[in-house]
Structure formats: C-alpha cells, structure tokens
Chain A
Amino acid sequence: MTPKTNILLIEDDKSICNFITASLESANYRVTCAQTGKEGLSLATSLCPDVYLLDLGLPDIDGMDVLTKLRTWTSNPVIVISARTKEQEKVTALDAGADDYITKPFGTSELMARIRTALRHSRPNTHARIYKAGDLVIDFEKRLITLEGSEVHLTQIEYQLLTLLAENSGRVLTYSYIMNAIWGPYVDNNNQILRVNMANIRRKIEKSPAQPKYVFTEIGIGYRMLESET
C-alpha cells in the first residue's frame, strides 16, 4: 500500500473543516485540521504535510504571515482559500509563494483538481516533454505547436508565453510572475503588452476568443492553462 498523502488544513470554520476533511478522506488523503494559525504552524513542523490548504482569514494571525513563515522552510505546495471579491489578496498570496488559490465557496471536485495539480507540479522529474490537451499539442523539445494536427506559428514572445503557461498547466500564474519570467525584472508594471500578446495567442489557438478552450483568464489575477493530459 502506498503511503497516503498528508494534507494540513488551516481553517477556522468547523463546518468547512468537516466537509473538506470528509471529502478528502474519501479520496484517500490523510487530513489534519488546525483551527488557528499558531496551531497550523506547529502542526506543520511536526507533520511535514505534502500539501497545505490555508484560509487567509484566521482568528489569531494573518494568513499571509502563516504563508511567509511556511515559505521560510518548506517548498511543499500551499493552496490558499480566499473570498471572491478580494483579488488583491489572492495576487499578494500568489506572489508571496502560494501555489494556487481556490475561491470560497467551492465544490469538492474543484478542490481535488487543485490538489492534484499542486502535487503534480511539486514532484521533481515529472517535467513533461509534451503538453497535450484536447486538440492542442506542444512539443517542448521540437518547439512545435500543433492544433488539430496542423502547425501553429507563434512569434518568439508568444511561444515563450504559451510554453510557460503549458509547463504550469492547471495552475494560475499571476500577471507579475509572467511579466518577470518573459520580460525580466525591470519591466514596468503596465501589463498591457502581456494582454496584447495573450490576445494574439488566443486568436491563433482558440476558435472563439470569447469562449476559450485552452487559456483562461482570471480577471485581476492572471492566466491559467487547461491542465495537460500527459
């Protein structure tokens, strides 16, 4: 029997704790609940969980502080749980090292998908040589992108953008992360150049830019690419 994946849930609301614990346990994860930030931090050091689920609104310490403290010694994925209207909070958490976020309220299937993605990206040596989702295939080694079997021609920047998203498929990447990765750290804060390039990519790989199949926008936060099937 393979050892179960350990998940630490730091969340103060009992009802939410209950349903997350129940659904994760039925999916064969081992879940530990912490009701406060301090308890969460001490459980983190003793359990060394594989994935953290962290609610940002905790009664004792700010969830952001918990995240920064965790990031000083562990690189295991942290998924932040946050309310809908607080985009800025999400962006701050993502830029401070959170791997992904999930918006309250969420369904269990959404949560499972986030955890699976986070686990997949946290394991080393699983770097895929090929991205494949639906009719879109990206061969990283041959630098070849095909849609329904025919080659798609992208500019240098567009290719870099798309492969960056594809390598992190399933995860949200913030505007500032992408800007840094593609244009370097000295680019100014205006992300219009990114928006324009994404629009061009969309016109090349999506049938209908208003109903995309591969690259999704999370307004105010960043972009997320459909998870690879490989």
Chain B
Amino acid sequence: MTQRFWKLPRYKQHLFSLLISLISMGLATGLAFMYYHVVPDNSANIALVYILALILVARYSVGYWYGVVCSVFAVICVNYLFTYPYFQINFTLTGYPITFLGMLAISLLTSTMTSHLSHQAMMIAEREKLLAEAEKEKMRANLLRAISHDLRTPLTGIIGNSSLYLENGAFLSEAEKIKIMTNIYDDSNWLLNMVENLLTVTRIKGDNLSVNTSEEPLEEVLAEALLKLQKRYPGTEVQTAIPEEFLLIPMDAILIEQVIINLLENAIVHSGTTKPIELIVTADSNAVSFTIKDYGVGIPKEHLADLFDGTSYTPSQTADARKGMGIGLSICKTILAAHHGTLIGRNHDSGAEFIFTLPRFGKS
C-alpha cells in the first residue's frame, strides 16, 4: 500500500496526509473525551492517546510538517481541554514544557524514521525493477547473439557460393554449378524459415504475452502445417493419429502451425534417421495434447536442461546436420506460453519426443 502511495501525484499525497492528520487528531480528541468522562483528571493517559495518534500521523504523512503541527495541536488540546483550568491555555503548570517538547520530539523522530523507511522501500523497488530489466536485456542479448550466429552461417554460405560462381563461373563444370546453386538454394530456404520464425514472434503482443485467438478446427491447422512441411522436406513421412471428434480449439493458428512445423522439422533434422515421425493428438475435457515422436538418436543429455532457452547450439554430429534449433524451440515455448499451454521435450526408449498442450476453452 505504501508503495502505491508513493507513486501518487504530490498534491494527492498532501491531501492524504492532511486527511490522516485531521482524522487521527479528531479520533484522538474524541477518545480522550470519552476517557475523560469515565476517569477524569488523568491527563497522562490522555496524552498517551494523543501520542499514539501522533505516531500514526507521522507514519502515514509526507514530510515532517504534519507531525509537527499535529504535536503542537495535541499539546494545546491536552492543555486546553483536559487539564485544570479547563478551556484556558496555561503553560505555567509544572512540567508542561517537558510534555510539549516530548511530544514534539516523538513526532519528529517518527516522521524521520518513517520517511527514511519509505525512501528505502522505494530504493529497493527501483533496484528490483533494474534487475528485472537487466535480466530481460540479458535474454534479449542472448537471443540476438543466437540469431545473428544462426543468420550468419547460411549467409556466409550464400555469399561464398555465389562469389565462387561469379568469379570462377567459366572454369566450373556443370555438376559443380548445380552443386553451388543447390547450396545457395538450401541456405536461403533455411534463412527464410528462420525469418518466418522470428516474424511469428511479432504476433505476440508486448510484455504480457497475449495473442489474438479464434476458434480453429484442429485438423485444418495440422493439415496446413503438414502440407508446408512436405513442401520443404519432400518425401518425409509423418504418421498422424487425431481424434475422430471435430475439435475447435481457441488459438492463433499461424503460431500453432509454426510450433508444429518447428517440432516436426526438429525431428526430421536432428533425429538422424528417416524412420517415420509420429504426430499423435489426444484430447481430454480440458486440453488437447500433441505428441511429436521420432525414432532417432534422441536429445543429448547435456541439452535436456537448457532445451528451450534459445542458446543451445547443437554441434554438428553428422556431416549434413543443420544449425542448432535452439531459437526454434525457444520460440515454440514462447508461443505456447502465450496460449497458456505447455511444452516439454524428453527422450523415450528409442528417440526423442516433444509434447505440447493447448487449453480447450481458452484461458481458464
């Protein structure tokens, strides 16, 4: 509450302080009157009531001045209302200056302490914000580093191959030319894939990670994803098993399509086998779950922990192994988080499997 208080505009803070002062003093005076009617002539306890009110004022007001004014008011009240002679200001009573000074000191001390406290609280909040920002900045830097690494690799290939062709075109055999062009073609396609992945992320809005969802038939999304995959990797075999029931799932179809393509592509590229990939969809009353299962080499143990943080480069194990899919996976994770779904990756007996779920009825 105090943190929110410090974010209010200045005049509102003062208004609030004034209110607190008035209410505290009013309540204290009221209480004192009641007490006085029960046990008259005990000004020490009445002073205590005022001191309590003063502490409250000092705690919940800005600056010292409210406390000081209230303490003066309290001293005068005690003198005027509750000590003989009634309804007269009389500071000649023994020890009265001491009471006055005491109350003033209490209010000043409390004010100083509380304003110090709230200042500290503000500083801590500020530091936490900075830390969170630094963390975000670090993630962004990591992602950028991973992206530029992954972008530079195919670009190097494209530039190298095309300059080879331009400079030595006359001395190259037809077969060599075709090989060069195929390399360029493959690398550009890989780049395109990468850029599309990055573009999909721009569909997720802002820091609160929300997406525009609409009810989409699950089978249509799957069908389109598989069609696109077939275009990119002709001859790939994917065995599908989906529920017979017609399922409408709230989602951003473009994004979920990207998740399916990324996971299937992962299975094609990194499994090191051409055995058919299985895509199994099951539905219960709350969620649909998609399992993408390959029968290849599995996920290296050292990568299981940091699979989705976008920084793990899978080192080339075979000659034609593609660059790491770290970014693809971290994008999948982001997309599913925005859909309030989950994504896990693990090894089964003879390969790797990725399982993601989507809630059936949007945010529950």
Residues of A at the B interface (CB closer than 8 Å) are: 84-85, 87, 105, 192, 195-196, 198-199, 202, 208-212, 216-220
Report yes or no: B217 in contact with A199, Cβ–Cβ below 8 A. yes
User: CA A65 – CA B233 in complex, angstroms?
Assistant: 38
Contacts A85-B254, A209-B242, A210-B281 known; 15 new A-B pairs at CB < 8 A:
A84-B199, A192-B248, A199-B246, A208-B240, A210-B219, A210-B222, A210-B242, A210-B279, A211-B226, A211-B238, A212-B223, A216-B223, A217-B221, A217-B223, A217-B224
Report yes or no: A199 in contact with B219, Cβ–Cβ below 8 A. yes
**A-contacting residues, B259-294, CB 8 Å:** 279, 281
User: CA A208 – CA B280 in complex, angstroms?
Assistant: 13
Give the residues in chain B near A196, CB-CB below 8 Å: 246
Which of A192, A212, A220 is in CB contact (< 8 Å) with B254?
Answer: A220
Verify if B203 is at the interface (C-beta below 8 Å from A). yes
Give the residues in chain A near B137, CB-CB below 8 Å: none
User: CA A218 – CA B254 in complex, angstroms?
Assistant: 10
Give the residues in chain A near B226, CB-CB below 8 Å: 210-211
Report yes or no: A210 in contact with B223, Cβ–Cβ below 8 A. yes
User: CA A209 – CA B200 in complex, angstroms?
Assistant: 26
B208-250 CB contact bits vs A (8 Å, 1 = yes)?
Answer: 0000000111011111101100000000001010100010100
A-B contact pairs, 10 of them (CB 8 A): A85-B200, A85-B202, A85-B203, A105-B192, A192-B248, A198-B220, A210-B226, A210-B279, A211-B226, A216-B224
Verify if B196 is at the interface (C-beta below 8 Å from A). yes
User: CA A195 – CA B246 in complex, angstroms?
Assistant: 10
User: CA A48 – CA B246 in complex, angstroms?
Assistant: 47
User: CA A84 – CA B199 in complex, angstroms?
Assistant: 10
User: CA A219 – CA B242 in complex, angstroms?
Assistant: 19
Give the residues in chain B near A217, CB-CB below 8 Å: 217, 220-221, 223-224
Report yes or no: B248 in contact with A195, Cβ–Cβ below 8 A. yes
Give the residues in chain B near A219, CB-CB below 8 Å: 216, 220-221, 224, 253-254, 257
Report yes or no: A84 in contact with B196, Cβ–Cβ below 8 A. yes
User: CA A111 – CA B240 in complex, angstroms?
Assistant: 30
**CB-nearest residue of chain A relative to B220?**
A217
User: CA A195 – CA B217 in complex, angstroms?
Assistant: 7
Report yes or no: A210 in contact with B240, Cβ–Cβ below 8 A. yes
User: CA A216 – CA B217 in complex, angstroms?
Assistant: 13
Taking the closest CB of chain A, its distance from the CB of B283, in whole angstroms, is 14
Give the residues in chain A near B242, CB-CB below 8 Å: 209-210
User: CA A93 – CA B281 in complex, angstroms?
Assistant: 35
User: CA A199 – CA B223 in complex, angstroms?
Assistant: 12
Give the residues in chain B near A210, CB-CB below 8 Å: 219, 222-223, 226, 240, 242, 279, 281
Report yes or no: A192 in contact with B215, Cβ–Cβ below 8 A. yes
User: CA A195 – CA B236 in complex, angstroms?
Assistant: 28
Report yes or no: A209 in contact with B248, Cβ–Cβ below 8 A. no
Give the residues in chain A near B221, CB-CB below 8 Å: 217, 219
**CB-nearest residue of chain A relative to B217?**
A195
User: CA A219 – CA B224 in complex, angstroms?
Assistant: 7
Give the residues in chain B near A192, CB-CB below 8 Å: 215, 248
User: CA A191 – CA B229 in complex, angstroms?
Assistant: 27
User: CA A198 – CA B220 in complex, angstroms?
Assistant: 10
B38-56 CB contact bits vs A (8 Å, 1 = yes)?
Answer: 0000000000000000000
**CB-nearest residue of chain B relative to A219?**
B253
Report yes or no: A211 in contact with B254, Cβ–Cβ below 8 A. no
Q: Which of B219, B222, B242, B246 has the most CB of A within 10 A?
A: B219
Taking the closest CB of chain A, its distance from the CB of B173, in whole angstroms, is 23
User: CA A192 – CA B217 in complex, angstroms?
Assistant: 9
User: CA A219 – CA B219 in complex, angstroms?
Assistant: 11
Known: A192-B248, A196-B246, A209-B242. A220 touches B253 (CB 8 A): yes
Taking the closest CB of chain B, its distance from the CB of A211, in whole angstroms, is 6
Taking the closest CB of chain A, its distance from the CB of B239, in whole angstroms, is 9
Taking the closest CB of chain A, its distance from the CB of B124, in whole angstroms, is 42
Give the residues in chain B near A208, CB-CB below 8 Å: 240
Give the residues in chain A near B279, CB-CB below 8 Å: 210
User: CA A208 – CA B175 in complex, angstroms?
Assistant: 40
Taking the closest CB of chain B, its distance from the CB of A22, in whole angstroms, is 14
**A-contacting residues, B273-324, CB 8 Å:** 279, 281
Give the residues in chain B near A87, CB-CB below 8 Å: 254
